[in-house]
Chain A
Amino acid sequence: MSVSRTLLALLEPGPRHGYDLKRAYDEQFAQGKQLAYGQVYSTLSRLLRNGLVEEAGVEHGAGPDRKRYTITDAGVTDIETWLGTAESPEPYLQNTLYTKVVLALLSGRSAQDVLDTQRSAHLAVMRDLTRRKADGDLADQLICDHALFHLEADLRWLELTAARLDALAEVVRS
């Protein structure tokens, strides 16, 4: 996910200072991986340099003064373009798992074991996500569902490959 574009889009409703921006990001998108302050400020400097945000005064409070940032017209255009562009669907044409299965077949090891090990690992993660969904709010449910559907796709491939192992063995050994 583009942290830079996400921070930029979070500035669209109104100016914020870096700490506020980090908090907004962590609340909505962190999923257990909070942003480091350093990353927030280095991202803001880059956005500033590229003309996508500008400084909007200094906030005086009990602590140190804090710079506020606002999105520019160029920043709004960038976000509009980004939101309007489809994410590239990943075809995963050559993945590690396929390589492992072929190497297992070539070396006379059990490709079925490779697939079984992977299935257990996938299902373990799917169980965690399913539990997280049960305890979570709607945002959690949607994010977990996205991950679950992707893992399910992998598992369907594992089953299909398991059903085709004999044929694959003939091809790779010929």
Chain B
Amino acid sequence: MTEPLLAGRGLHKAFGPTEALRGADVAVRAGEVLAVMGPSGSGKSTLLHCLAGIVRPDSGSISYQGRDLAAMSDGERSALRRTDFGFVFQFGQLVPELTCLENVALPLRLGGAKRKPAEARAQRWLERLEVGDLGARRPGDVSGGQGQRVAVARALVADPKVIFADEPTGALDSLNGEKVMRLLTEAARGSGAAVVLVTHEPRVAAHSDREIVVRDGRVNDLELAA
């Protein structure tokens, strides 16, 4: 098997006395949609945060394109998150003071792009996510489903290699959740990005290519052993 795009091996992470991860092995292949399932409190989100370089594991290794994430400095990991990773969370990830268009353009602006080309590109992504007419509005003035589509556009605007989505439809009704998942996976597959999708909802996981299950902080991804 070719080396996965992103792999965590033997990951352990404790918060005080609570062991969130107790030996997690997981591999993400380029372009795949991987569902991370498991009961509440099983360590799904901690695993996502470790893989994304947001949280540093206590032990174990994370390699991204062959580079050891745990060995990078905070600055290097921040740069990687900006250039190679995109994020969609359940709540509140949009900056309320910025318009939807400015929110989507933000990753490009932080990467040094000029305003006009960044916003032109952001507008194209808003249109792809079927919210092209919401650019001038602020996040507080759009519905939950629309806000999540803006968030998906922002996650994809900088051509990331991996999208990390943590319960992206958790706050939406069935119909809106369905639409967000369809648009997210279609857009990611269209641009070749992998998606690490944390969810406890089987219907959301059904949009993935395969699933792993975290139980009591442990997961043994068979793909990694193959």
Residues of chain A having any CB pair with chain B under 8 Å: 116, 119-120, 122-123, 126-127, 129-130, 134, 148-149, 151-152, 155-156, 159, 162-163
Contact = CB atoms under 8 A, between A and B. Distances in A.
Contacts of A126: 202-203, 205-206
A156 B202 contact: yes
Nearest to B201: A152
A156 B206 CA distance: 14
A123 B205 contact: yes
Contacts of A119: 213
A63 to B, nearest CB: 45
Interface in B171-215: 182, 186, 200-203, 205-209, 211, 213, 215
A147 to B, nearest CB: 11
A119 B215 CA distance: 14
Contacts of B200: 159
B170 to A, nearest CB: 15
Q: DSSP majority for the A interface?
A: helix
Interface centre among B182, B201, B205 (most CB of A within 10 A): B205
Nearest to A149: B203
A122 B202 CA distance: 9
18 contacts: A116-B213, A119-B213, A120-B211, A123-B211, A126-B202, A127-B208, A130-B207, A134-B182, A134-B186, A148-B206, A151-B202, A152-B201, A152-B202, A152-B203, A159-B200, A162-B39, A162-B215, A163-B39
A129 B206 contact: yes
A156 B200 CA distance: 9
Nearest to A116: B213
Given A126-B202, A151-B202, 15 more contacts: A116-B213, A122-B202, A123-B202, A127-B208, A127-B209, A130-B206, A130-B207, A134-B182, A134-B186, A148-B203, A148-B206, A149-B203, A152-B203, A155-B202, A156-B202
A163 B40 CA distance: 11
In the A-B complex, the 4 residue pairs with the smallest Cβ-Cβ separation, listed nearest first, are A126-B206, A155-B202, A130-B206, A152-B202
A4 to B, nearest CB: 33
A118 to B, nearest CB: 12
Nearest to A156: B202
Interface in B1-57: 39
A126 B207 CA distance: 8
Nearest to A152: B202
B39 A159 contact: yes
Contact of A127 (B39, B182, B201, B206): B206
Contacts of A130: 203, 206-207
Contacts of A159: 39, 200
B90 to A, nearest CB: 19
A153 B182 CA distance: 21
Contacts of B39: 159, 162-163
A150 to B, nearest CB: 11
Nearest to B200: A159
A155 B211 CA distance: 13
B210 to A, nearest CB: 9
Contacts of B201: 152
Nearest to A163: B39
B225 to A, nearest CB: 15
A93 to B, nearest CB: 22
Contacts of B203: 126, 130, 148-149, 152
Interface string B98-122: 0000000000000000000000000
Nearest to A141: B178
Contacts of A116: 213
